Amino acid sequence: MENITIGITCGDINGIGLEIILKALALKKASRTFKTVIYGSTKVVAYHKNIITQETILFNSVQTAEEAQADRINIINCWQDNVNITLGKPTDVGGKCAFLALERAVADLKSGVIDALVTAPIHKKAMQMADFPFVGHTEYITDAFGDKDSLMLMVSDNLRIGVATNHLPIREVPKAITTELVLRKIEILAETLRIDFNQGKPTIAVLGLNPHAGDEGAIGTEDDKIVRPAVERAKEKGILAFGPYPADGFFGSGQFTKFDGVLAMYHDQGLVPFKTLSFGEGTNYTAGLASVRTSPDHGTAYDIAGKGEADEASFVRALYLAADIVHNRSEYLEMHANSLVQQKRKALESETGEDEEVEDIIPEE
């Protein structure tokens, strides 16, 4: 992992983002196994450093991520002006700084300058005040990569749960749920479990939209007419998908422990049980993208901003999850490249009847 470079956005400068970043990098030394670079401002980082410790911490200001050094706190300045920090409150300045950092980091992620991105929390109102045209990180990054679909996946040691619809008002959820959408999310979840999490043949539980998963149509027909057909079509594609399950009994009975992944239909259906079971130990991962992006499982925590009380555990996990997924993807590609060579070798042997040197015969691709 020593060759991996992970970009880190500063998030909302009025929240706890830079506090947890500095605690993770400077105090916990979380970056010893990979290089990291913070997208933000040296002055703003120094301000937050002085809140949490009076120890001397040396920053390495760099122009590009390629200049980042191992075991150093590397910082790319994404704006030059002095800015006002208003701890604990959403401001247009805080939103603008978060936007500038995200914009620069995503550009580097797209170009391959960094291998993965970990985003510190933003505040949606502050982002709107700065004319950020997306609901959140997930939607912005998905659009930036030109992908039609991604999956917000919450990850902890004992639970991986994705949501079919992200940040939608509850009244808009039923009309957003279609068989095609649910099927696509199942496919993304199956692929990410297989490639990013090394689950050879993952099992997936799909939750119902309505209470009791509709109770055979007595409490809504969406589960029988929309969700169940998506599960059946997924099975036809060779995916081990099951459901729809009533969400309350599924978590109450501990049934979630029997599956490699779970797909919820809407935000709170997935995040309420996840945060109840894993808060502070979980990570948000944007599955389905060509690149890797993770974040901690909490927000800006304005109520404790500037008090030095923020827990960096979830952010540390986000860093290591990003590095693990980069590593797993590399191993997967290498394994399948070797498998392709073996297939070509067998094909040549069957044609020629000889055990020839494959490297001399197979052209470079």
Residue 346's pLDDT is 58
Residue 321's pLDDT is 96
Q: Pick from 262, 282, 302: which residue ends a domain?
A: 282
Same domain, 86 and 99: yes
Residue 351's pLDDT is 57
User: Please, are residues 175 and 209 in contact by the beta-carbon 8 Å criterion?
Assistant: no
Q: Pick from 221, 248, 282: which residue ends a domain?
A: 282
Residue 28's pLDDT is 65
- At residue 57, the 3 state secondary structure works out as coil
Mean pLDDT of the chain, nearest integer? 90
Could you tell me which residues come within 8 angstroms of residue 163 by beta carbon, excluding any fewer than 6 positions away? 151, 152, 263, 264, 265, 266, 267, 269, 270, 271
* Residue 115 belongs to domain spanning: 1-147+289-365
Same domain, 316 and 223: no
Cα first-last separation, the chain? 26
Same domain, 273 and 298: no
Residue 177's pLDDT is 97
CA 4 to chain centre: 17
Residue entry with tokens 């509709």: 214
Same domain, 66 and 199: no
DSSP string, 136-177: SHHHHHHHHTT-S--EEEEE-SS-EEEESS-S--GGGHHHH-
Residue 53's pLDDT is 80
Query: How many structural domains is the chain composed of?
Result: 2
Q: Which residues pair with 208 in a beta bridge?
A: none
DSSP string, 313-348: HHHHHHHHHHHHHHHHHHHHHHHHHHHHHHHHHHHH
Q: What pLDDT, in 10s, does the model give residues 194-244?
A: 999 999 999 999 999 999 887 788 888 999 999 999 999 999 999 999 999
Same domain, 17 and 127: yes
- How far, in Å, are 20, 53, 74, 122, 349 from residue 311 at the CA level? 7, 15, 22, 16, 59
Rounded CA-CA distance 49/107 in Å is: 27
Q: b or e along 232-267 (b: 16 or more beta carbons within 10 Å of the residue's beta carbon)? A: ebbeeeebebebbbbbeebbeeeebeebbbbbbbbb
Question: pLDDT means per 10 residues in the chain (365 residues)?
Answer: 88 97 82 88 95 85 94 93 95 97 97 97 96 90 87 95 93 96 98 96 97 84 96 98 96 96 97 91 93 95 95 94 95 76 56 50 35
Same domain, 262 and 308: no
Q: What is the CATH number of the domain that holds 92?
A: 3.40.718.10
Residue 105's pLDDT is 98
| Token representation of residue 133 | 């045209």
- How far, in Å, are 10, 74, 85, 140, 155 from residue 42 at the CA level? 11, 9, 14, 25, 31
Rounded CA-CA distance 165/182 in Å is: 9
Same domain, 218 and 306: no
Measured at the alpha carbon of residue 179, what is the angle toward residues 240 and 245, in degrees to the nearest 5?
50
Same domain, 140 and 166: no
Same domain, 189 and 47: no
User: Please, are residues 53 and 26 in contact by the beta-carbon 8 Å criterion?
Assistant: yes
Same domain, 22 and 44: yes
Q: Which of 139, 215, 149 is nearest to 182 (CA)?
A: 149
Q: Pick from 282, 312, 344: which residue ends a domain?
A: 282
Residue 358's pLDDT is 39
Rounded CA-CA distance 122/99 in Å is: 9
Measured in degrees and rounded to the nearest 5, phi and psi for residue 110 equal -65, -35
Same domain, 263 and 298: no
Residue 204 half-sphere exposure toward CB, CA atoms < 13 A: 32
Same domain, 260 and 158: yes
**Would the CA dihedral through 153, 97, 72, 281 be positive or negative?**
negative
